[in-house]
Amino acid sequence: MSGSEVEPMPATVRAARLGLTLQFAFGCIGLAFALVAVITVGSLAGLGLLAVMAVIVAFTGRLIQRLSTRSSRPRWTALGFQLLVLLIDLGFETVDHGLTLGSLPRLGLLVPVFVIAMLLTPAAGRWFTAPATPSRGPRG
């Protein structure tokens, strides 16, 4: 690699960003449906849920944007956020239907697991901890 080249984003980080983008897209769709439902029903409790959904979708969008900075902070934030999403989804699944082996392979559970797995790969770790500017080496 010459001094002017910048190391490209590894495929695992691009895949994690794709998973976050899927969550963002589905979150926007869910937000639109929730908005229609709140307007139709006129529920104040629905407004609170709508606000929480909007914050989560906005946070996901910001996280997607920050992943390309190569700073380790967005990586760890994304990992923590995905773990939180996973635990909340598992909690709702347990309370609503009772957690069974057949209920696990759903998009709401698979995408966070996928993003976590991609961000924990050695390639992702190297990319996030490497300096953003290439080293020039000794001048001769």
**pLDDT, tens digit (0-9, with 9 covering 90-100), for 5-50:** 667 899 999 999 999 999 999 999 999 998 998 888 887 778 888 8
What lies within 8 Å, CB to CB, of 14 at 6+ separation is none
Helix (H) or strand (E) holding 38: helix 11-41
Q: Rounded to two decimals, what is the model's pTM?
A: 0.80
Of 99, 94, 28, 33, nearest in space to 60 by CA: 28
Burial of 36: CB neighbours in 10 Å, binned 0-12, 13-18, 19+: exposed
Q: Determine the average pLDDT of the residues in 61-84.
A: 93
What pLDDT sits at residue 103?
62
> What SS3 state is found at 133?
coil
CB 40 within 8 A of CB 76: no
pLDDT in tens, 74-111: 999 999 999 998 888 888 777 777 666 666 667 778 89
Q: How confident is the model at residue 140 (pLDDT cuts 50, 70, 90)?
A: very low
> What SS3 state is found at 94?
helix
CB 77 within 8 A of CB 116: no
DSSP state of 106: S
